[in-house]
Structure 1
Amino acid sequence: MKKKKLIVGITVPQSIGLLKGQLNYFSAHGYDACLLTQHDERSSNYCKEEGCRKLNVIIERNISIKKDWKTLLALIKIFLQEKPDVVNVGTPKMGLLGMIAAWLCRVPNRIYTCRGFRYEHETGKLKKILMACEWISAACANQIICISPSVKALGVKDGLFDEKKCVVINKGSSNGIDPEQFSPSKVSKHDIDTLKDKYGLKGKFVYGFLGRVVDRKGINELFEAFCSIYDEDQNVRLFVVGPWEMEQVKDKNLMTKMQDHPGVVVTGKTFDVALHFSVMDVFVLPAWWEGFGNVVVQAADMGIAVIGSTGTGVCDAVCDGFNGIHVPIKNVAKLTEAMKLIKTDQVLREKLAANGPIWGHNFKPEIIWEGMDKLYKAR
């Protein structure tokens, strides 16, 4: 029997982490699986590891009418040559151009994967443009995978998505979170002690943040809340792990303020995520919006109590009262209150931490991939 041809597209190879294990799974399950993205070493290595084919296209993240037109023509050419049965594209630019090209080429099964809405906290002309792009992507699709229930709800509410097209696989997530990768058993006590010694965290109560340091992740609110807690208790620490993207940080002095604060540790990017989770007593993500808060589930898998916002995509990653606490977005007072509560109430903190791995098992990658497989075979 002829294999179904599947093309999965992303805008830039930096997003390849969103697809780890996915195309290997579909290759092993009888698909002729292809990755469609820009050519670089990362995309080449990914395809070798996953056992899938690579289709190259030049595509820009930012809006450029001339370049985007060339990309659209290139995508049409690829789809006409490859004749895929299924096209699944996500990330804003590939989602838009990939869906238009797939619709024009009459690809039988066109799936748009929505990973959140950039327009949520934008205003004016830019917001209207971003919303229009989402509407077009969705209109060209047969099916829309919303990676969290709140993304689906907002897309339908704002008139961008036809609810009949929308699917949330299980409880959400774009690619699942591997509980084996984020397990306390993966980290040695020696390595934990070494990291604590390096950053002066021994004997301290550690609030942790891990991710890109940008305004929309709620980093300003987190720093403000922490400062008020530190004023009352100098035994607390804020452990900030991740790369700074200063073009998305309004306060250009924020990094200096945090580095100069005696209670804040700023590490920069790390490749050993599990180890850095291991020194945290509480994980905090007061983000304004996400597609889905993968990092919150990773922390939960590590057996850490979490605090997450009620923002789109973040609220779905925390089970309020079971493994963590919800706080409203951009509300420093409520965030401070939750951070104090989870520190002082040890019984609550230990309960939330113990429930984390139980919650995390809802998001195993195989659950997400099996759901995708059903969608791919539906047409």
Structure 2
Amino acid sequence: MPKAILKLYLILKRERFDIVQYSTTNAVFYAATASWLACIPVRLYAQWGIRYVVFSGLVKIIFKQIERWCCRCSTVIEPDSMGNLEFSIREGLYPRDKGRVIWNGSACGINIERFDISQKDIWRTEYREKIGCDVHHLVVGFVGSIRADKGCNELIAACRSFFSNMPMARLLLIGDKVFYSTIDKDLRDWVESSDQVIHVPPNDQIPQYMACMDVFALPSYREGFGMVIIEAEAMGVSVVASNVPGPADAIRHEVTGLMVPVRDAVALAEALQVLLRDPAKRTAYGVAAAAFARDSFEQKKFLQYVLADKEQLIAEEEFQINHAGKHV
């Protein structure tokens, strides 16, 4: 038994918690196993993404079995999107009565006070100046780790394919380059040499930078939910995202943005051009996006649902204990 599992088991056995919640691949494996061994009454797996979908061959088989084991050890599973709930059920990871989504999904909801659309015009002017853009530039934005499984190969290839015909277009990449080597070398070379690509390191001014964008793109291969989509929508930015579980729940196709097939740079380029060449459509999508984010994912309301969910889980467990006691 790995030392981490043993240590967790001893802590959980001693403290006798009513609920243990866990998420992310490594932590889930250790915590789910230790909680199961310690007989914790409510073992809550916050399924914020499914890792094995980006793998192939033997690695995919192994990671799928790990996912299946973690689900089996858990008493309740709460993916952060309906798409991942339905995917998990189809994959046989757990039965329908074991999984549920809180409210409309997401892991934490959107902080409307931070992503304050009333400040958009002010931030747009200030931060466009910071990145060397003016009112005439058309900015495609991305926020996240710049890596292959976030769809960055497709995004960069898509932009490269038409930017030469759109000299005022800019690609704004905000994020770390820890896995930058997973980007094709010819695309990295273009990013480094093109004056149409802007890179900004990770920072805490994401709402301000999103205000600069005309279109936000997340062509990811997998996401638990795709919270950055909701953040962009909260700032009134039209979006383009891949049609995979998670992001598909964070967008309303042809209402707040456009969905495209995953790993399809050609379709992505077409969708980006549709929005960049049609300011009226971008504006309409942006207005609908801001309302969608506010009405469906506002953080304070989301947290009320989270609290109610925890109270329900505890009440259900207490009922089972009391009911079992009457039949002893």
| 1:253 shift after superposition | 5.7
Shifted more, 358-367 versus 158-167: the winner is: 358-367
**Cα 1:292/1:127, change in 2 over 3 Å:** same
Q: In the alignment, is the contact (CA less than 8 A) between 2:157 and 2:187 conserved in 1?
A: no
The answer for unaligned runs of 5 or more in structure 1 is 1-67
Instruction: Give 2:247's aligned residue.
Output: 314
Structure 1 counterpart of 2:49, one-letter code: G
The partner residue of 2:62 within 123, 126, 129 is 129
Residue 262 in structure 1 maps to residue 195 in structure 2: yes
With the length of structure 2 as denominator, give the TM-score of the two structures: 0.90
The 1:269–1:255 alpha-carbon spacing in structure 2 relative to 1, beyond 3 Å, is farther
Cross-structure match for 1:230? 163
Specify which structure has the higher proportion of strand: 1
2:46 to 95, 100, 113: 113
Tell me whether 1:298 sits opposite 2:231 in the alignment. yes
Check the 8 A contact 1:118/1:130 in 2, yes or no: yes
Partner of 1:375: 309
The worse-fitting range, judged by mean Cα deviation, of 289-298 and 94-103 is 94-103
Q: CA RMSD in A?
A: 1.7
Pairs within 5 Å for 1:156-167: 156-167=89-100
Alpha carbons of 1:347 and 1:186: their partners in 2 closer, same or farther (altered >3 Å)? closer
Q: Aligned partners of 1:70 and 1:188: how far apart in 2? A: 53
- 1:364 to 1:248, Cα distance in 2 relative to 1, 3 A: farther
- 1:332 is aligned to 265
1:200 aligned partner: 132
Equivalent pair of 1:148/1:313 in contact (CA under 8 Å):
yes
Other structure's SS at 2:2 match: helix
Give the aligned partner of residue 351 of structure 1. Answer: 284
Contact 1:342–1:348 (8 Å) recurs in 2:
yes
Q: CA deviation at 1:188?
A: 6.9
Change (3 A) 1:196 1:375: closer
**2:121, 2:255 → 1: CA distance?**
27
Helix, strand or coil for the counterpart of 1:114? coil
**Of 164, 167, 175, the match for 2:108:** 175
The question of 1:147 aligning with 2:80 is answered: yes
Rounded Cα–Cα distance in structure 2 between residues aligned with 1:228 and 1:188: 30
1:259 positional shift: 2.0
2:258 counterpart SS class = strand
How far apart, CA to CA, are the structure 2 residues paired with 1:88 and 1:210? 28
Q: In 2, Cα distance between the equivalents of 1:243 and 1:255?
A: 14
CA deviations 1:171-221 (Å, max 9, x no partner) are: 2101111111111334672x5434323322112111111111111111111
Note closer, same or farther for the CA distance 1:73–1:252 as it changes in structure 2 (3 Å cut). Answer: farther
Q: What is the CA distance between 1:257 and its match in structure 2?
A: 2.4
Provide closer, same or farther for how the CA distance between residues 168 and 348 of structure 1 changes in structure 2, counting only shifts above 3 A: same
Paired residue for 1:210, among 143, 149, 154?
143
CA displacement at 1:147 relative to structure 2: 0.6
Per the alignment, residue 299 of structure 2 pairs with 365
Higher RCO structure (Cα 8 Å, ≥6 apart): 2
Q: 1:261, CA displacement in angstroms?
A: 1.1
**Number of equivalent positions:** 311
Q: Secondary structure at the match of 2:140?
A: strand
Could you tell me how far apart the structure 2 residues matched to 1:335 and 1:185 are?
Answer: 30
Q: CA deviation at 1:254?
A: 4.0
1:338 alignment partner, SS class: helix
Q: Distance between the aligned counterparts of 2:269 and 2:77, measured in 1? A: 37
Report how far residue 101 of structure 1 moved. Answer: 1.1
Q: Please state how far the C-alpha of 1:255 moved relative to its aligned partner.
A: 3.6
Q: How far is 1:285 from its partner?
A: 0.8
Distance 1:188 1:81, change over 3 A: farther
Is 1:341–2:274 an aligned residue pair? yes
Please name the residue that 1:84 is paired with. 17
TM-score calculated relative to the size of structure 1:
0.78
